[in-house]
């Protein structure tokens, strides 16, 4: 291994809130940051935050952020020592660290060999099974007939999954034999569209599971630790919406066992830097390997809040050739942290994206509140990329206090000009079953009538019903002289003072 070095300048091969978040740590470390941007992101916050910025192509990601050669070219022009990939885009593509090595630029992340070993879900299952990691019963299949035979052997219901995918794409639940043919074709078609690979595999469907993941962190000398768990079971369309730690469903003993197995799995592929092992946790306490994300996770702030670590800083130290400065026994989790993802989307309309210009933006603050944002008033949420506005996280001494703190923070959050999921989050955090910690990956679907608006009203009547509710509320306020909060465009409830401020902005 080469001697450690100190980076002078790092290119962040990403955009939005994660690029801003990485740049903040770089600035604290005295390292200059370089942004790259597509034509759609010329005025984005991450471009304004960086010390330097370079254009890399048109708006579509496959013509800009997904082109390895454009990223390397920008790094060379800027004279960068290293590249941090963030998450998404090229963050789990081994072609980027390999190109970095050829260009003499350090990749801030795991080795390409580990990425390749864990990049294919089918290959990763084989690797982890050989390493003693428990996996969900499953099979690889090439035809519908093979899938049907495997499903009958495993037992329905089963899940079809894209071998090269993630984020809920290329996934189908198959309840019985009659559903297999259609589900197989749809899963393969979606896998091909999103990942360029129509390979699909089959797994036993674990009913009412929790989605619990383990953060791992290692250096180049083989020192590896786990940094506890995150419960990511609140999902829509198999994509995470809310994450928390500790998990309400996992004892400290169970987390220790899951953590030890995650470290064991990471060592088996020569892993270093930050990464995450994702598990399905069954109601009986058994757990099964789902996949490994060979990158920094979206939800990493909750881990940072309970441990005091800066995971981006640790990734930079490891990339510079430094050893971890702590062992497993030195790590402790304190209090409770929760994160919710604030999206430009319409939950009442199937969570469809809601791109557009943000007219005004009021971000919550105060004790125990952290907002990792990538937007500002006047910026455009583009239709070309994931519509994430920010990640709102809170910390408190107990889970009960953290939920109350999140509800307070959400009440302060204001976004106008576009639709957001803020009202959805307010309903979710007020739901008694969530407050009790009784949830699984089917929570949103199970309680959608309570979380998503007017479930008994036909779509063509929803605007009329909403208008009637608004008129009734206005009449009541005039009649009583009340000064209660009024509903904002974002769905949050605004105080009269914020409402007046908003009126002045228009």
394: left (phi over 0), alpha (psi -120 to 50) or beta: beta
Provide φ and ψ at 422, rounded to 5°.
Answer: -65, -45
Q: List residues with catalytic annotation.
A: 295
Is-contact 384 60, C-beta < 8 A? Answer: yes
Provide φ and ψ at 437, rounded to 5°.
Answer: 75, 15
Q: How far apart are CA 379 and CA 40, in angstroms?
A: 11
Instruction: Print burial letters for 213-233: b (CB count within 10 Å at least 16), e (below 16).
Output: bbbbbbbbeebbbbbbbbbbb
144 burial type by CB count under 10 A (0-12 exposed, 13-18 middle, 19+ buried): middle
DSSP-assigned letters across all residues of 47-89 = HHHSSEEEEEESSSGGGTTT-HHHHHHHHHHHT-SEEE--SST
Instruction: Report the interhelical angle of 399-412 vs 422-430 (nearest 10°).
Output: 150
Provide φ and ψ at 357, rounded to 5°.
Answer: -95, 130
Rg (CA), the chain: 23
What token pair was written down for 346?
């319409």
């Amino acid at each position: 291994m080469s001697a450690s070095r100190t980076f002078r300048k790092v290119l962040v091969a990403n955009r939005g809130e994660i690029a801003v978040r990485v740049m903040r740590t770089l600035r604290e470390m005295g390292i200059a940051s370089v942004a790259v941007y597509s034509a759609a992101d010329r005025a984005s916050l991450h471009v304004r935050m960086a010390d330097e910025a370079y254009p890399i192509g048109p708006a579509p990601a496959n013509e800009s952020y997904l082109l390895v050669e454009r990223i390397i070219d920008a790094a060379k022009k800027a004279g960068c020592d290293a590249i941090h990939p963030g998450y998404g885009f090229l963050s789990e593509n081994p072609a980027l660290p390999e190109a970095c090595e050829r260009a003499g630029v350090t990749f801030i992340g795991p080795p390409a060999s580990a990425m390749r070993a864990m990049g294919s879900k089918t290959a990763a299952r084989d690797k982890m099974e050989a390493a003693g990691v428990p996996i969900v019963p499953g099979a690889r299949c090439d035809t519908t007939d093979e899938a049907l035979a495997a499903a009958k052997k495993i037992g329905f219901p089963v899940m079809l999954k894209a071998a090269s995918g993630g984020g809920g794409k290329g996934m189908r639940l198959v309840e019985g034999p009659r559903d297999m043919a259609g589900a197989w074709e749809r899963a393969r078609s979606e896998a091909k569209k999103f990942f360029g690979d129509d390979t699909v595999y089959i797994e036993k469907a674990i009913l009412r599971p929790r989605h619990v993941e383990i953060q791992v962190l290692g250096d180049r000398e083989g020192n590896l630790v786990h940094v506890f768990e995150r419960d990511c079971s609140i999902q829509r369309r198999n994509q995470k919406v809310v994450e928390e730690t500790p998990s309400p469903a996992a004892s400290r003993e169970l987390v220790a066992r899951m953590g030890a197995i995650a470290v064991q799995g990471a060592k088996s592929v020569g892993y270093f830097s930050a990464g995450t092992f994702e598990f399905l946790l069954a109601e009986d306490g058994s757990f099964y390997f789902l996949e490994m994300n060979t990158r920094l996770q979206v939800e990493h702030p909750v881990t940072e809040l309970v441990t005091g670590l800066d995971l981006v800083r640790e990734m930079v130290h490891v990339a510079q050739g430094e050893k971890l400065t702590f062992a497993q026994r030195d790590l402790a989790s304190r209090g409770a942290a929760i994160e919710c993802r604030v999206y430009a989307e319409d939950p009442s309309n199937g969570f469809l994206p809601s791109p557009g210009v943000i007219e005004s933006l009021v971000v919550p603050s105060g004790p125990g509140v952290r907002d990792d944002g990538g937007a500002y008033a006047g910026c455009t949420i583009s239709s070309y990329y994931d519509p994430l506005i920010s990640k709102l996280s809170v910390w408190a001494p107990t889970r009960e206090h953290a939920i109350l703190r999140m509800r307070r923070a959400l009440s302060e959050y204001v976004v106008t000009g576009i639709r957001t999921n803020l009202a959805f989050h307010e309903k979710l955090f007020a739901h008694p079953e969530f407050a009790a910690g009784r949830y699984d990956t089917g929570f949103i679907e199970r309680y959608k009538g309570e979380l998503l608006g007017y479930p008994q009203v036909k779509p063509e009547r929803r605007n009329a019903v909403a208008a009637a509710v608004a008129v009734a509320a206005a009449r009541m306020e005039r009649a009583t002289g009340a000064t209660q909060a009024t509903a904002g465009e974002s769905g949050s409830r605004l105080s009269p003072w914020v409402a007046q401020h908003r009126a002045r902005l228009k």
